[in-house]
C-alpha cells in the first residue's frame, strides 16, 4: 500500500466523518476534501477542478433552471393536480401516489430528468397541504432510483452490465429483463417509505424557503385589517353619464365625491348571439379586456366598470345624479380582481417621499398604483390622504396590478414592500407561457430518452430555451440554481479520480477477490451487492458499475457460475444510492429544496439498502439461476 493510497483513504474517512457529524456545511466539507487532494499532490489542479466541468454538474445546474421555469409558468402546479386529486387529504396517499408516478417515469427516462421535472410539482403539493417539502423530497429521489431498475434504459448501470455481457460473447439483458426484480424492489421501497421511512424524515424547511402559506395573509384578511371592504364599490358608467369623454384628472372625483377610481374594465364588444356585457375579471388570459389602473389621463366611456374606493355617501350621490349605476354583486366579496391586488408598503428613513403628499408625488401616475389607505403608528389616517404629508414609518396600502406591485419589491431607498398577500404568487405566474414550457420540457425528455444528443446537451438546450421563450428571465435562471448542491457534487467528484489513479479502488477490489476464494455463489452475490452499494454512496453509480462489472464476471466464471445473476446484482445495487446526498445527482437535487442534512439520507438509506439486499438475494437467483 503506497503513501498516496493511505492519504486518499485518510482524506475520504475524514470527509465522511465531517459529513456525518454535520458540523460544517456539506459543500464546505467537499471543498476542504478537494483542497486536501490538491495540496497533497494526489491530484493535479486540472484533475481536482475537473468536477466543475463534469457533465453531471452542468446538468444539475441546468435542471434547476428547467424546474423553476415549470414552476413560474404554472406547469408544475397543473401537473400536481392529478396526484393531488388521487391523494385527497392523506399525507400517506400523497407520498405513495408521488412515488408510483415517479418510479414509472424513471423506468423510461433519466432519473435526474424525472426529479427535475417533478421537484417543483412536489414542492407545490407540499405547500398546498401545509406540509414541509422535506416530508416528500427524499421519497421523490428514492422513487426515481427505484424506478431506474424497471427497464434497460432506466439507469446507466443497467446498460453498463448488459453491454459487458455482450462484450463477453453472451446474450445481453433485454429491455424488460430488469422489470420483475425492479417491480418487487419498487413495491418494497414504497411500502417501507409509507409505513416506516416517512417517520424518519425531518419536518424541516429549507433555509431560503418562503413563509408557509398560512403565515401570509390573504387579500381578504389584509383588506379586513385595514377596514377596506366597506369602502370598495363596483360601479358602471351609464350611457348618458356626464362622466363620459372626460379624464379622471378633469373629473377630480376624490374632491367632488370622495371616491378614487382604482381600476377600470372596458366593455366587452357584442358577439353574435350574445347580448353586450362586461368582461369579468379572470375569464382567461387570452381576453383583452383585463382590469387596468385608473390613471389621471384615463378617459371614461359608457359601459365601463369602475372599482372605486371611498365613502358610501359619495357613491350614493354619484348614483343619484345619474353618473353611474351600483353593481350589487360587487359591493361584497374579494376587493380585488384576479389581475389586481394590494400590498403594504413601508416608508424608509431615507425615502424621498417623506414630507411630501401623494398629490405632489403623482404617486398613481408614477407607479400605476393607488394608495387606498395610510397607517401611522398603527392607526389608519382619516380624511383626504392625498394631501397628507408623509412621514418616515408610514405604512401605505397600495392597490393595482400585481405586476406593478412586484416592481415595487425592487425598491430599496424610498420604501419596502412589507407584506404582500398569498394570492400574489399564483397571480404572477405567466400562464400564457405554459404551452411553451411544456413544449420545451417534452423536447428535452424526447432528446434524453432517444439519446439523440447527450443528456447534458439536452438539458442545457432546455434551460436556454426556457429563457429565450420567456418562461423565466436570465436573472431568475441564475437565482433558481441551488449553488450549494452544485458545488457539493463538483467538489466531491474528484475523489473517485483519486481512488482510481492511486490504485486505492483496485486495492479494495483485489482484497475482496482474494477473500472470496472457495466461497459459494450466494455469498459472492451478497458481497458484490454490499461492495457495489457501499461504493455508490461516495462515487458515481455508473463509475462503480464500470469498475465492478468485469470483476463480477471474472469471479462468477472462477467459481463456475453463470455471470448473469451477479451482473444483475451489480446493476440493482448501483441503484441503491440512498444513504448520502452525494451518492446520486437526484439526492443532490433535493438536498437544498428539502433543507436536508447528511444524516437524513443516512437514516432512510441504510434500511432501504438492507431491504433491497434481501429482495435481491431472494429474487435474483430465482430469475437468473447460478
CATH of the domain at 221: 3.30.70.1450
Q: Which domain holds residue 124?
A: 58-210+440-482
Cell of 384: 383626504
Let me know whether 225 and 176 are in one domain.
no
* Residues 571-593, mean pLDDT to the nearest whole number: 81
Return the C-alpha cell found at 561: 457460475
pLDDT of residue 540: 64
Taking alpha carbons only, the member of 24, 201, 27, 231 closest to residue 99 is: 201
32 class by beta-carbon count within 10 Å (0-12 exposed, 13-18 middle, 19+ buried)? middle
How big, in percent rounded to 5, are the helix, strand and coil portions of the chain?
60, 10, 35
**Residue after which a domain boundary falls, among 458, 482, 506:** 482
User: Does residue 511 sit within a domain?
Assistant: no
Q: What is the pLDDT of residues 383-423, one digit of tens each?
A: 778 888 998 888 888 877 777 777 776 666 777 777 777 66
The answer to whether the Cα torsion of 275, 280, 282, 284 is positive or negative is: positive
Place of cell 407545490: 124
Adjacent-strand bridge partners of 344: 397, 419
Is the domain of 75 the same as that of 151?
yes
> Are 130 and 76 part of one and the same domain?
yes
DSSP output for 197-214: IHHHS-----TTPPPPGG
- Give the C-alpha separation, 505 to 513, whole Å: 13
Are residue 81 and residue 184 in the same domain, yes or no?
yes
Distance CA 554, CA 595 (A): 43
Structure-model confidence comparison of residues 84 and 272, the more confident one: 84
pLDDT of residue 537: 80
Residue 29 or residue 113, greater confidence: 29
pLDDT score of 288: 43
d(CA 395, CA 381): 10
Query: Quick one: pLDDT at residue 334?
Result: 44
Tell which wins on pLDDT, 310 or 359. Answer: 359
Distance CA 482, CA 591 (A): 9
Q: Are residues 253 and 201 in the same domain?
A: no
According to the model, what pLDDT value does residue 335 have? Answer: 42
Q: Are residues 236 and 381 in the same domain?
A: yes
Same domain as 295, residue 176? no
Whether 366 is in a domain gets the answer yes
Name 345's bridge partners. 396, 417
Q: Give me the pLDDT at residue 618, please.
A: 94
Q: Which pLDDT score, from 0 to 100, does residue 277 have?
A: 40
Integer Cα distance of 540 and 533 in angstroms: 11
**What's the pLDDT at 621?**
93
- Please list, in sequence order, all residues whose beta carbon lies within 8 angstroms of the beta carbon of residue 360, skipping any fewer than 6 positions away: none
Mean pLDDT of 281-302: 62
pLDDT at position 154 = 74
Grade residue 29 by pLDDT with cuts at 50, 70 and 90: confident
The confidence score (pLDDT) of residue 428 equals 54
- pLDDT, residue 195, reads 92
Using 50, 70 and 90 to split pLDDT, how confident is the model at 183?
very high
- In a domain, residue 597? The reply is no
Q: At what angle do helices 598-623 and 137-147 cross, to 10 degrees?
A: 20
What local confidence, expressed as pLDDT, does residue 78 receive? 66
H or E segment to which residue 306 belongs = strand 305-310
Q: Which of 128-132, 301-305, 618-622 has the highest mean pLDDT?
A: 618-622
The answer, yes or no, to whether residue 336 has pLDDT greater than 50, is no
**What is the spatial distance between Cα 581 and Cα 425, in angstroms, rounded to a whole number?**
30
Place of cell 483485489: 510
* Residue 65 counted as domain residue: yes
Using the predicted structure, report yes or no on whether residue 262 has a pLDDT greater than 80.
Answer: no
* Per-residue pLDDT at 212: 45
CA dihedral sign, ordered 294, 395, 72, 62: positive
Instruction: Please tell me the predicted confidence (pLDDT) of residue 256.
Output: 81
- Whether residue 543 has pLDDT greater than 70: no
Are 513 and 555 spatial neighbours (Cβ–Cβ below 8 Å)? yes
CA 68 to chain centre: 6
Whether residues 157 and 289 share a domain: the answer is no
- In a domain, residue 116? The reply is yes
Counting the structural domains of the chain, the total is 2
C-alpha distances out from residue 177 to 113, 526, 556, 563, 618, Å: 23, 20, 19, 15, 16
The answer on 467 and 388 residing in a single domain is no
State residue 109's pLDDT score. Answer: 67
Q: What gap in Å lies between CA 244 and CA 377, rounded to an integer? A: 41
Pairing of strands 379-380, 395-401: unpaired
Tens-digit pLDDT profile for residues 79-113:
666 776 777 778 888 899 999 988 887 877 667 76
Query: Do 415 and 344 form a contact (C-beta atoms < 8 A)?
Result: no
Averaged pLDDT, 549-570: 85
- Specify whether 151 is located in the same domain as 226: no
The residue assigned the cell 374579494 is 334
> How many Å from the N-terminal Cα to the C-terminal Cα in the chain?
35
Query: Higher pLDDT residue, 366 or 142?
Result: 142
Query: Is 372 a domain residue?
Result: yes
**CB within 8 Å of 243: residues ≥ 6 apart:** 237, 251, 300, 323, 324
Segment 215-226 mean pLDDT: 67
The pTM of the full predicted model, rounded to 2 decimals, is 0.56
Kindly indicate the confidence band of residue 210, based on its pLDDT and cuts at 50, 70 and 90.
very low
Percent of the chain whose pLDDT exceeds 70:
82
- 352, 369: one domain: yes
Q: Quick check: is 298 in a domain?
A: yes
4 — pLDDT class (breaks 50, 70, 90): confident
Query: Do 279 and 416 sit in the same domain of this protein?
Result: yes
pLDDT reported for residue 613: 94
In whole angstroms, what is the distance from residue 377 CA to residue 384 CA? 18
Q: Is 69 helix (H, G, I), strand (E, B) or coil?
A: helix
Judge whether 265 lies within some domain.
yes
Contact 268, 278 (CB under 8 A): yes
For the chain, what is the mean pLDDT?
79
Q: What DSSP element (H or E) covers 7?
A: helix 3-21
Q: Which residue has the higher pLDDT, 608 or 508?
A: 608
Residue 182 and residue 176: Cα distance in Å, rounded? 10
Amino acid at each position: 500500500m503506497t503513501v498516496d493510497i493511505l492519504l486518499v483513504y485518510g482524506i475520504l474517512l475524514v470527509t465522511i466523518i465531517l459529513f456525518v457529524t454535520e458540523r460544517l456545511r456539506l459543500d464546505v466539507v467537499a471543498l476542504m476534501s478537494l483542497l486536501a487532494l490538491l495540496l497533497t499532490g494526489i491530484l493535479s489542479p486540472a484533475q481536482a477542478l475537473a468536477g466543475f466541468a463534469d457533465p453531471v454538474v452542468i446538468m444539475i445546474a441546468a435542471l434547476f433552471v428547467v424546474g423553476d421555469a415549470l414552476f413560474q409558468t404554472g406547469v408544475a402546479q397543473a401537473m400536481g393536480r392529478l396526484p393531488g386529486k388521487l391523494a385527497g387529504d392523506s399525507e400517506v396517499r400523497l407520498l405513495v401516489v408521488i412515488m408510483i408516478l415517479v418510479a414509472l417515469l424513471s423506468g423510461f427516462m433519466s432519473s435526474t430528468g424525472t426529479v427535475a421535472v417533478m421537484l417543483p410539482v412536489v414542492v407545490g403539493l407540499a405547500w398546498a397541504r401545509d406540509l414541509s417539502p422535506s416530508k416528500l423530497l427524499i421519497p421523490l429521489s428514492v422513487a426515481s432510483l427505484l424506478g431506474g431498475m424497471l427497464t434497460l434504459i432506466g439507469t446507466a448501470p443497467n446498460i453498463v452490465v448488459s453491454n459487458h455481457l455482450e462484450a463477453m460473447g453472451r446474450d445481453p439483458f433485454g429491455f424488460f429483463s430488469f422489470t420483475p426484480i425492479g417491480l418487487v424492489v419498487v413495491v418494497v421501497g414504497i411500502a417501507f417509505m409509507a409505513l416506516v421511512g416517512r417517520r424518519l424524515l425531518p419536518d424541516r424547511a429549507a433555509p431560503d424557503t418562503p413563509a408557509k402559506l398560512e403565515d401570509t395573509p390573504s387579500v381578504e384578511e389584509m383588506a379586513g385589517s385595514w377596514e377596506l371592504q366597506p369602502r370598495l364599490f363596483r360601479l358602471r358608467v351609464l350611457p348618458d353619464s356626464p362622466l363620459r369623454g372626460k379624464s379622471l384628472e378633469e373629473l377630480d372625483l376624490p374632491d367632488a365625491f370622495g371616491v378614487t377610481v382604482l381600476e377600470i374594465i372596458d366593455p366587452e364588444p357584442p358577439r353574435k348571439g350574445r347580448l353586450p356585457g362586461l368582461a369579468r375579471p379572470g375569464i382567461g388570459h387570452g381576453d383583452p379586456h383585463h382590469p387596468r389602473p385608473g390613471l389621471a389621463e384615463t378617459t371614461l366611456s359608457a359601459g365601463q366598470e369602475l372599482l372605486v374606493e371611498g365613502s358610501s355617501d359619495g357613491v350614493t350621490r354619484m348614483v343619484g345624479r345619474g353618473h353611474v349605476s351600483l353593481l350589487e354583486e360587487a359591493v361584497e366579496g374579494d376587493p380585488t380582481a384576479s389581475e389586481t391586488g394590494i400590498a403594504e408598503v413601508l416608508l424608509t428613513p431615507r425615502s424621498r417621499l417623506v414630507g411630501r403628499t401623494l398629490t405632489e408625488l403623482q404617486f398613481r401616475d408614477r407607479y400605476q398604483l393607488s394608495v387606498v389607505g395610510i397607517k401611522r403608528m398603527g392607526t389608519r389616517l382619516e380624511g383626504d390622504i392625498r394631501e397628507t404629508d408623509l412621514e418616515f414609518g408610514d405604512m401605505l396600502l397600495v392597490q393595482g396590478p400585481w405586476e406593478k406591485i412586484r416592481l415595487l419589491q425592487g425598491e430599496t431607498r424610498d420604501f419596502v414592500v412589507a407584506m404582500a398577500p398569498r394570492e400574489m404568487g399564483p397571480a404572477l405566474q405567466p400562464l400564457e407561457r405554459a404551452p411553451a414550457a411544456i413544449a420545451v420540457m417534452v423536447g428535452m425528455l424526447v432528446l434524453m430518452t432517444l439519446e439523440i444528443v447527450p443528456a447534458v446537451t439536452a438539458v442545457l438546450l432546455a434551460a436556454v430555451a426556457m429563457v429565450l421563450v420567456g418562461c423565466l428571465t436570465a436573472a431568475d435562471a441564475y437565482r433558481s440554481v441551488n449553488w450549494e448542491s452544485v458545488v457539493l457534487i463538483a467538489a466531491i467528484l474528484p475523489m473517485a479520480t483519486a481512488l482510481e489513479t492511486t490504485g486505492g479502488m483496485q486495492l479494495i477490489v483485489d482484497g475482496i477477490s482474494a477473500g472470496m476464494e472457495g466461497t459459494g455463489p450466494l455469498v459472492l452475490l451478497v458481497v458484490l451487492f454490499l461492495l457495489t452499494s457501499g461504493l455508490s454512496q461516495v462515487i458515481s453509480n455508473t463509475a462503480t458499475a464500470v469498475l465492478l462489472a468485469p470483476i463480477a464476471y471474472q469471479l462468477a466464471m472462477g467459481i463456475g457460475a453463470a455471470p448473469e445473476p451477479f451482473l444483475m446484482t451489480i446493476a440493482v445495487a448501483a441503484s441503491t444510492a440512498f444513504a448520502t446526498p452525494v451518492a446520486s445527482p437526484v439526492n443532490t437535487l433535493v438536498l437544498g429544496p428539502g433543507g436536508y442534512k447528511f444524516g437524513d439520507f443516512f437514516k432512510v438509506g441504510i434500511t432501504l439498502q438492507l431491504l433491497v439486499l434481501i429482495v435481491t438475494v431472494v429474487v435474483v437467483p430465482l430469475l437468473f439461476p447460478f
